[in-house]
Amino acid sequence: MPLHDGDLELALLTLLSGQERYGLDLAKELRDLTGGDLDLNAGTLYPALHRLERRGWLRSETRPSPRGGHALRYYTLTDDGEQAFKTKRDAYHRWHQGLATRWGNS
């Protein structure tokens, strides 16, 4: 099943709600949560994160890696990002409930 931008946005906002994460950590978490079905490459992940940052939903900060090596860019939801997450999450729940009701009648 193809991944749409809105689905990816909701997934990223969900993982960032209440905590900061760096890009590859987000990709690993999505891969683990979906049993490998969602295995994002950098060419998909980082443009999505940058798009959310341009909207004002994320802020980022580059810091040294705790394990040494290259610095990591950590992403955090802004207040607008938290609101966007709640709005998208609630819309998803309404949509899912509507379909689940229909599926139950099939």
Query: Taking a C-beta distance cutoff of 8 angstroms, is the pair 29, 36 a contact?
Result: no
- The count of domains in the chain is 1
Query: Taking a C-beta distance cutoff of 8 angstroms, is the pair 58, 78 a contact?
Result: yes
Residues 1-23 pLDDT 10s: 456 657 899 999 999 999 999 99
Q: What is the pTM of this model?
A: 0.83
CA pair distance 88, 13, nearest whole angstrom: 9
Residues 20-64 pLDDT 10s: 999 999 999 999 998 988 888 889 999 999 999 999 999 999 999
The DSSP element (H or E) to which 91 belongs, if any, is: helix 79-104
Q: Could you give the C-alpha distances from 90 to 14, 25, 31, 38, 61, in angstroms and in order?
A: 12, 25, 23, 22, 29
Domain at 51, CATH number = 1.10.10.10
* First and final C-alpha spacing in the chain: 22
* Full residue range of the structural domain in which residue 15 is found: 5-104
